[in-house]
């Protein structure tokens, strides 16, 4: 709660999701950091499987998974949710998305 109350205020839904994501990263559980007693049924390692943010003002659903930490968004305004509409699904676990930023590099104007 401290981080939420001490952070600078934000104005837009996307800024709010970005802030929430930074706050939630503080409690993210890496795979294997939490484990049950060796040999017990719950000996499987725990991890944060996914994180979901809901922008109720703009009707958008943001999510990321352990395998793909890039925030993805579903605009619920573009989906037919009326009675009888086809059920939709999306794979939450997918490969990590890496954005190539090489083309955005700028030459420094400083001297060497």
Confidence band of 110 (pLDDT split at 50, 70, 90): low
Domain count, the chain: 1
Please give the C-alpha separations between residue 92 and each of 27, 52, 68, 81, 89, in angstroms, as whole numbers: 20, 11, 8, 20, 9
> 14 lies in which domain range?
1-28+47-79
68 in any annotated domain:
yes
Look up the pTM and report it. 0.77
Please give the C-alpha separations between residue 102 and each of 66, 99, 106, in angstroms, as whole numbers: 25, 9, 9
User: Would you give the distance in Å from CA 16 to the centre of its chain?
Assistant: 13
51 in any annotated domain:
yes
Query: Which among 28, 35, 7, 27 is positioned nearest to 19, based on CA atoms?
Result: 7
Tens of pLDDT along 4-53? 788 898 999 999 999 999 999 888 888 888 877 776 666 777 888 899 99
**Paired tokens of 59:** 């009707």
Residues 6+ apart with CB under 8 A from 56: none
7 in any annotated domain:
yes
16 in any annotated domain:
yes
């Amino acid at each position: 709660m401290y981080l939420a109350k001490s952070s600078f205020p934000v104005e837009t839904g996307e800024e709010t999701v970005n802030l929430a994501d930074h706050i939630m990263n503080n409690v993210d559980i890496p795979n294997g950091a939490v484990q049950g007693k060796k040999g017990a049924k719950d000996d499987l390692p725990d991890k944060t499987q996914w994180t979901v943010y809901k922008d109720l003002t703009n009707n958008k659903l943001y999510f990321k998974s352990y395998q793909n930490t890039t925030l993805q968004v579903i605009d619920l305004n573009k989906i037919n949710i009326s009675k009888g509409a086809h059920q939709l699904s999306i794979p939450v676990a997918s490969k990590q998305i890496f954005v190539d930023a090489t083309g955005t590099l700028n030459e420094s104007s400083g001297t060497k």
